[in-house]
Amino acid sequence: MAYNLGILGATGAVGQEIIRLLQEREFPIAELRLLASVRSAGQEQSFGGKTWTIQEATPESFEGLDVCIFSAGSDQSKLFADEAIKRGCVVVDNSSAFRQDSNVPLVIPEINPDVVDDHKGILANPNCSTAISLMGLYPLHKTFGLKSFIASTYQAVSGSGAGGIVELEQQARAWAEGGEIKKEVYPHQIAFNLLPHVDAFLDDGHTKEEMKMLNEGRKIMGIDDLRVTCTCVRVPVFRAHSISISAEFEKPVTVEAAREAVRNFQGSELVDNPENAEYPMPLNYSEVVPCGVGRIRKDSVFENGLALWVTGDQLWKGAALNAIQIAELLHKKGKL
């Protein structure tokens, strides 16, 4: 069966990756409907040997669609989700708008596929750093029982969209040429710098991004009392996030069993040969489907603890790929 599929936010960085991956993964599409702002309406996009015209998103745009992947931000998701659902369109939402809604499944298909069975028209994609982190943590949770973890993220500028990528390119070029370094996307220079600031700050000193790791981790893995401390850092890397994690478990741990758990987990691959300088790096995991897990070792603080390093493509597993995998899972289960 082929579907009428829409993409809201088709011209953005994630939207373009969705189009690319849909074609590469040969998702069964009868009609592709590309939706964006009025500024982009009329532009053309090639897909599947055809040319498709980008349309302005309106409530009527979702008429006749079976499924639409939303990737235009929370405001647009809140504006159009109900309009799509009441027209019989299933929504896979990439924004944070519905992630903590108890009626909306928050899905990583390799971890909690069964939650899609009773969806009510909308399914949420997790935050990028959360998704990538859990691809390393979940196989360990299944083996040892996760209690808590401390994470520091190293988040690429791709997480800020196309503008973040352009700003890093322009600042690096200006620095090399002795020119003026301009700041528009970030409050400080990102080239050759680190910003311990991703998303808005909350009253308690955490950022929204940091709290997503706790709240979304609990919901996806079904661990209501999971404890998390997270510091999110924007780094001058174009693409692919990395996360340093120290995790505490219920059961005694061994490095050998941890490596075996990761090795057997679909969606992640073990790259853990430090003696040969082999470990996951952003350059090696840009435009790559699985997430890389390495540097697994006994943690020196937690009694039953492991330290590890996870890397994955923010635009893929952190956004576009996971959304498509949700659509593929719905197709497989007959839930579209």
- Tens of pLDDT, residue by residue over 257-309, are 999 999 999 999 999 999 999 999 999 999 999 999 999 999 999 999 999 99
pTM for the whole structure: 0.96
Question: Is the pLDDT confidence value at 95 over 90?
Answer: yes
**Buried b or exposed e, range 299-329, using 16+ CB within 10 angstroms:** beebebbbbbbbbbbbbbbbbbbbbbbbbeb
More confident residue, 161 or 35: 35
Instruction: Examine the pLDDT at 48 and tell me if it is beyond 90.
Output: no
Write out the residue limits of the CATH 3.30.360.10 domain(s) in the chain.
129-313
How much of the chain, in percent, has pLDDT values that exceed 70? 100
Distances, alpha carbon 26 to alpha carbons 22, 48, 78, 110, in Å: 6, 9, 29, 19
Rounded to whole angstroms, the Cα distance separating 126 from 105 reads: 10
How much is the mean pLDDT over the chain?
97
Q: 19: pLDDT confidence band, cut at 50, 70 and 90? A: very high
Catalytic residue among 119, 141, 206, 241: 241
Mean pLDDT value of segment 109-124:
97
Per-residue pLDDT tens digits for 228-252 = 999 999 999 999 999 999 999 999 9
- Above 90 in pLDDT, residue 139? yes
Catalytic status, residue 291: no
CB 223 within 8 A of CB 186: no
Has residue 321 got a pLDDT over 90?
Answer: yes
Domain at 3-126+319-333: CATH architecture: 3-Layer(aba) Sandwich (3.40)
Residues of the chain with CATH 3.40.50.720: 3-126+319-333
Are the beta carbons of 3 and 331 closer than 8 angstroms?
yes
CA–CA distance from 152 to each of 162, 208, 219, 315 (Å)? 24, 14, 20, 19
Predicted local confidence at residue 54, as pLDDT: 96
Under the banding of pLDDT at 50, 70 and 90, the label for residue 34 is very high
Pairing type for strands 305-312 and 241-249 reads antiparallel
Residue 315 to residue 288: CA distance in whole angstroms: 10
Which position has the token pair 């995790």?
247
Arithmetic mean of pLDDT, 307-328: 98
Q: How confident is the model at residue 33 (pLDDT cuts 50, 70, 90)?
A: very high
Which candidate in 68, 89, 128, 291 is catalytic?
A: 128
- Which residue, among 54, 10, 47, 55, has the nearest Cα to 29 in the 3D structure? 47
CATH 3.40.50.2300 for domain 129-313: no
- pLDDT of residue 103 exceeding 90: yes
Is residue 128 annotated as part of the catalytic site, yes or no? yes
Report d(CA 311, CA 314) in Å as an integer: 9
Distance CA 334, CA 336 (A): 6
Share of the chain above pLDDT 90, in %: 98
